[in-house]
Amino acid sequence: MIVELARGLWTTFRALFFEKKVTVQYPEEKRPVSARFRGRHVLNRYENGLEKCIGCSLCAAACPADAIFVESAENSDEKRFSPGERYASTYEINMLRCIYCGFCEDACPTEAITLGDNYELSFYDRRDAIYNKDMLIVPVPQGGQLPPLVTEPGTFTRSVPAMKDPVD
């Protein structure tokens, strides 16, 4: 019996002193996620600060969990949020509904929405799970400006960046 006990404890001691530890001290310490990880979404901006999102609701249409809600409004050169005529005046994602499938990313014509690597989503209240535009959008990049922008007429006429001819 003693022998069995010693053999069993040996396994414990071996793991304790001779093997590489796998436990991570989360949340102080975090494991890197894979490049294709799908975590909490972000809404992106162009370098000048304009929002990439044009309020087209295609992400909402693609979403299998009906987690996205978009309302849109019209841009003008005096008050521009995004290129083109249309921007999202309301943008909400319910993180409790989202299944992190990434369909919204695929649907987006301007690469405005991308799934980031933040997986730390926990809430005390279901309402807190609804992320609005201010919570989702990335900060204005260096050299950019916070919309609404006043822009030169005729400079931002396209909602979707102009296509180039295919080169092969």
- Chain residues in the site for another protein (CB under 8 A): 54-58, 60-61, 69, 71-74, 84-86, 90, 92, 109-110, 157-160, 162-165
Nearest distance, CB of residue 83 and another protein, angstroms: 10
Rounded least distance, CB 91 to ligand SF4, Å? 7
Shortest spacing between CB 134 and another protein, in angstroms: 13
User: What's the token pair of residue 27?
Assistant: 């949340």
Q: Are 112 and 95 spatial neighbours (Cβ–Cβ below 8 Å)?
A: no
Rounded-to-integer distance, Cα 149 and Cα 112, Å: 18
Partner interacting with residue 162 (select from ligand SF4, another protein, none; CB below 5-8 Å by kind)? another protein
136 binds ligand SF4 (CB under 6 A): no
Farthest CA pair distance, the chain: 88
Instruction: Read off φ and ψ for residue 143, nearest 5 degrees.
Output: 85, -10
Contact partner at residue 113 from another protein, ligand SF4, none, CB < 5 to 8 Å by partner kind: ligand SF4
The residue ranges of DSSP E strands in the chain, in sequence order, are 41-43, 68-74, 86-94, 113-115, 130-131
| Interaction between residue 113 and ligand SF4 (CB under 6 A) | yes
